[in-house]
Amino acid sequence: MKDIENQEDLQLLLDQFYTKLLADPAISYIFTDVVKIKIEEHLPILVTFWSQAVLGTGGYSGNLAQIHLDIDQKEHLTPELFNIWLGYFDATVNELFKGEKAEKIKTQALSIATVMQIKIANNRKG
């Protein structure tokens, strides 16, 4: 099994990750009802984000924390939802890739998810 090396690899990873997310009614409603994402517009943004995070390319200029705080205002992003999200993310990485970058992307996802949940909890207190 190869490691994550380029944007094509990330495209494959994210495509298969979203197939899993969207097939599970326990989380898919966030992407179909709460925020109606257009997958063909959403995937390139995800590729850019993860390419910046693990391949060291630039190009992502969104505000990831605020975007998820806004979603949480519409529908609570619970710890259960984060667990489902992380479970599919790790599973997809493990199915497709093995190596340093594959480990790095899973660690990054966990650490971003942790920070996101702290920000969500703080925001809800305010």
Q: Does 49 bind ligand HEM (CB under 6 A)?
A: yes
Q: How many residues in total does the chain contain?
A: 126
Q: Does 45 bind ligand HEM (CB under 6 A)?
A: yes
Token representation of residue 78: 């619970």
Sign of the dihedral defined by the CA atoms of residues 27, 112, 72, 44, in that order? negative
Kindly indicate which of the ranges 5-13, 25-33, 90-98, 118-126 contains the residues binding ligand HEM, using the contact rule CB under 6 A: 25-33
What is the size of the binding site for ligand HEM (CB under 6 A)? 21
Least distance to ligand HEM, CB of residue 126, Å:
20
Q: Does 31 bind ligand HEM (CB under 6 A)?
A: yes
Kindly indicate which of the ranges 2-10, 78-86, 90-98, 118-126 contains the residues binding ligand HEM, using the contact rule CB under 6 A: 78-86
First-residue to last-residue Cα distance in the chain: 47
Residue owning tokens 């495509």: 15
Least distance to ligand HEM, CB of residue 21, Å:
8
Taking the C-alpha atoms of residue 12 and residue 14, their distance in angstroms, rounded to an integer, is 6
